[in-house]
Chain A
């Protein structure tokens, strides 16, 4: 039988967190109690096994993609003050980072965002498509959503050699829209504001539009239930 306090001392010893008094106490316990010694040996083997989990090298593109995604941001603090009106939420930022890493970009423009404290989208040329960019392109396809949870449309456009996917949706409750094209996937969380505000997202997938490919759309409820699945043509030639 090992007292709980002695178990704690054994862990603390292996963690390098013993005081000299505690070390002396543990020494006495270990001398007197074979069970304590067995536990200590077993824990030491566990430590040894876990130590085999070596630190992996991060992907070489990690830091570059972070810096690239930060390229258009204002300095810290200023960016934060604009965040709530400029983005949909964590899922959008997750998607934006992911897309940024792939040299694609995404932006959500809430109504009035151009006039908020956030950066004007005209400052973001090169990595992020501006509001209205889709409207200047050639329409390719349109999918209309009329679900209880979300309604509106998703449009695809071609702007020069760039595919533009525009979400213009109003969600009455939190939903997640997953868009996939040419091996790229982005997740958009909508409806987090709970005030059924129209939300407009523009996604510019990396690479030129490929003939015969679609943008696959999946809409999930907050609990993960698939609500809707559809395809949007990604190329005018289809």
Chain B
């Protein structure tokens, strides 16, 4: 059943097939968790958001409109829950801002792990809506059309937001010396 398409699994799940939901869960736990992780940075928060996402998906499966792709729907819930988690966290504690490395090097002189750390730190300096488009495009591999569905925005707005987000991310990485001008 692992080769069965999302739409059929959703249908089976709505008919009471719990195993079908388990397949959907295993299929999407990785991207959902990673979307939350990159938006929130904190692994525990990401885990909690991912759990909430799957419970919401389960509860609202009967509302899923099959004319949209299932992954667009679940990613939309993941992004919204993550942004909601961010706003909750803002109320009780400041976001941990990444301090620039004191001795950063250009991108070809430092290890992948350090670049990854710096890029994640730079991401956290973006506004959440900008971070979201970077995550959707670069982490989840969404197309402009997917992102338009997920964010419920016109494709033109999505592109504009993505280009702005990249420009801002580039500036942060340049400031940190993590990219050559």
Indicate if the CB atoms of A70 and B55 lie closer than 8 Å: yes
Interface centre among B51, B54, B181 (most CB of A within 10 A): B51
Q: How many A-B residue pairs have CB under 8 A?
A: 142
Partner of B143 from the list A17, A42, A101 (CB cut-off 8 Å) is: A17
Closest to B112 in A: A52
Inter-chain CA distance A55–B138, complex, in Å, is 10
Main secondary structure of the interface of B (DSSP, over half): helix
Interface centre among A45, A90, A223 (most CB of B within 10 A): A45
Indicate if the CB atoms of B173 and A55 lie closer than 8 Å: no
Contact of B75 with A by CB under 8 A:
no
Please choose the segment from A20-28, A57-65, A142-150, A228-236 that sits at the chain B interface, where 4 or more of its residues have CB less than 8 A away: A57-65
Q: Which residues of A contact B170 (CB under 8 A)?
A: 42-43, 46
Closest to A224 in B: B91
Known: A69-B51, A80-B60. A50 touches B134 (CB 8 A): yes
Q: Which residues of B contact A94 (CB under 8 A)?
A: 48, 52
Interface residues of B in 74-88 (CB under 8 A from A): 84, 88
Contact pattern, B 141-181, Cβ under 8 Å of A = 1, otherwise 0:
00110000000000000010011001001100100001111
Q: From residue B132, how far is it (CB to closest CB) to chain A in Å? A: 14
Contact of A6 with B by CB under 8 A:
no
Q: From residue A87, how far is it (CB to closest CB) to chain B in Å? A: 10
Indicate if the CB atoms of B144 and A7 lie closer than 8 Å: no
Indicate if the CB atoms of B179 and A90 lie closer than 8 Å: no
Contact of A188 with B by CB under 8 A:
no
Please choose the segment from A71-79, A121-129, A205-213 that sits at the chain B interface, where 4 or more of its residues have CB less than 8 A away: A71-79
Closest to B111 in A: A52
Contact of B40 with A by CB under 8 A:
no
Q: Which residues of A contact B178 (CB under 8 A)?
A: 49
Please choose the segment from B26-34, B65-73, B95-103 that sits at the chain A interface, where 4 or more of its residues have CB less than 8 A away: B26-34
With an 8 Å Cβ cutoff, the count of chain B residues facing the other chain is 61
Indicate if the CB atoms of A69 and B63 lie closer than 8 Å: no
Partner of A43 from the list B56, B60, B166 (CB cut-off 8 Å) is: B166
Known: A11-B159, A42-B170, A75-B16. A50 touches B138 (CB 8 A): yes
Q: Which residues of A contact B144 (CB under 8 A)?
A: 15, 17
Contact of B107 with A by CB under 8 A:
yes
Q: Which residues of A contact B50 (CB under 8 A)?
A: 58, 62
Known: A8-B159, A56-B37, A62-B50. A15 touches B137 (CB 8 A): yes
Q: From residue B4, how far is it (CB to closest CB) to chain A in Å? A: 17
Q: From residue A37, how far is it (CB to closest CB) to chain B in Å? A: 14
Q: From residue A224, how far is it (CB to closest CB) to chain B in Å? A: 3
Contact of B59 with A by CB under 8 A:
yes
Indicate if the CB atoms of A63 and B22 lie closer than 8 Å: yes
The 5 A-B residue pairs with the shortest CB-CB distance in the complex, in nearest-first order = A224-B91, A77-B62, A76-B61, A58-B33, A97-B51
